[in-house]
Amino acid sequence: MAPHSRRPPVTSPGRGYTHSMPARDAASGLWKGRAVLHVDMDAFFASVEQLDHPEWRGRAVVVGGSPQGRGVIAAASYEARAYGVHSAMSAARAARLLPADAVWARGNFERYAQVSAAIRALFEAETPHVRMASVDEAYLDVTPSEARPEHPVAVARRLIDAVDAMGLSCSVGVATSATVAKIASDRDKPHGLTVVPPGTEAEFLAPLAVGLMPGVGAVSQERLVSHGVLTLGDLAALDDATARDLVGSGGPDLVRRARGVDPTPVRPREAAKSVSREHTFATDLREEGEVLAELTRLTDEVCARMRRKGVAGRTVTVKLRYSDFTTRVASRTVATATDSPEAVLAAARETLRSAWTPGTGLRLLGVGVSHLVDPAEQLDLFGEADAERRGRDERLGSSLEAIRERFGDGAVGVGLDGIGDTDT
């Protein structure tokens, strides 16, 4: 049974959509096992702007930046995307692409948080098992049971209709795990419903690009592709030892998820204190190039874990253990919370320079990010300085994920000591 996709004719993104289902009904068969929905709001910020300003419906709307070319685009409506505009694009370039009647909205994070809370209430009315991954996306466990035997696709349709009634739009992935549901929800946007029935996970994932796997960051993706791992099917075919060699201790978990195996439960987010990664070397590192390469690897893995956890942080910590077993921990706080490998690495390199002199033997190196933020705080990413930084990261790395708002708060946490990689 192959995955099913639903795409109604689009009248205008941000307005009501007409519904049309394929002749073969995805909800007609029994659902065996877990059922997880990933609900992803379509062009959320721009759609809220169109909801609040009906006169903007049908027009290209961008949030962030200015038509004079200052700043970077934080979000774009689907009408704006039709002109080639996307998030993290410089406002100067967007201004050249957009029509004269395009709307440039400054953004209202309090309003977006308010709408997000209303959407969350819809989810929690369906199931107590809701995990908000960000202000505009969530996971729901709707596994059929004796107490509630309803088919998960019926729940997904009802949620889509409820969001439609709010004047917004969402896309939903239905699968047996959070990983597959998240990937599915992005296959048919906007206003899509993609169902991956039980037993078809590996078939669905196999042809997709390896970079679509949550947790595969820019550096990991480059390393995998350079070794011929181009698709999720290629990743699924790796043995654990090879995966570990290529992308570190998290490799085997990526392989399992590429095979469609992900038993991670859907639970409300617990407050995270920090995300960190460290490595103890069998032989001390002394050369600057080797240390920077290791710092880059650890940073990429930390950022991949942050994206998987749905968090972003402001304080970057570097942990060093010298040849004489003296340990030093140094930190640097950035202006706004980030999960960008480029931004975290820049702060980590500055911190490393202040704490280590090339030639000094290093037995252990670690990178951590803390001072995590909640969605309302992270929504204040429309400041031009932060948008500019994110846009630069996008252009340099060509691999940043879309701007997303994260949950959590807390303080620095240091990884455990020991031979090999350690993460927290």
**Which residues participate in catalysis according to the annotation?**
137
Structure tokens at 350: 């500055």
- From CA 223, how far away is CA 221, in angstroms rounded? 5
Bond into 149 cis (ω within 30): no
Contact at 8 Å (CB) between 111 and 48? yes
- From CA 16, how far away is CA 161, in angstroms rounded? 9
Cα 327 vs. chain centroid, distance in angstroms? 33
Nearest CA to 2 among 258, 260, 201? 201
Structure tokens at 324: 């004489």
Q: Name the β-bridge partners of 209.
A: 231
For 203, phi then psi, to 5°, come to -65, -40
For 44, phi then psi, to 5°, come to -55, -55
Structure tokens at 94: 């967007």
**Strand ranges inside 165-255, DSSP E:** 170-175, 193-195
**Length of the chain in residues, anyone?**
424
For 309, phi then psi, to 5°, come to -80, -15
Considering only CA atoms, give the Rg of the chain: 22
- From CA 339, how far away is CA 369, in angstroms rounded? 9
* DSSP codes, 206-232: TTSBGGGSTT--HHHHHHHHHTT--BH
- From CA 282, how far away is CA 96, in angstroms rounded? 54
- From CA 179, how far away is CA 333, in angstroms rounded? 31
Structure tokens at 174: 């239905």
249: left (phi over 0), alpha (psi -120 to 50) or beta: alpha
Structure tokens at 3: 């995955």
Please report how the helices 152-165 and 109-126 are oriented relative to each other, as an axis angle in degrees rounded to 10: 150
Residue with tokens 């103890």: 280
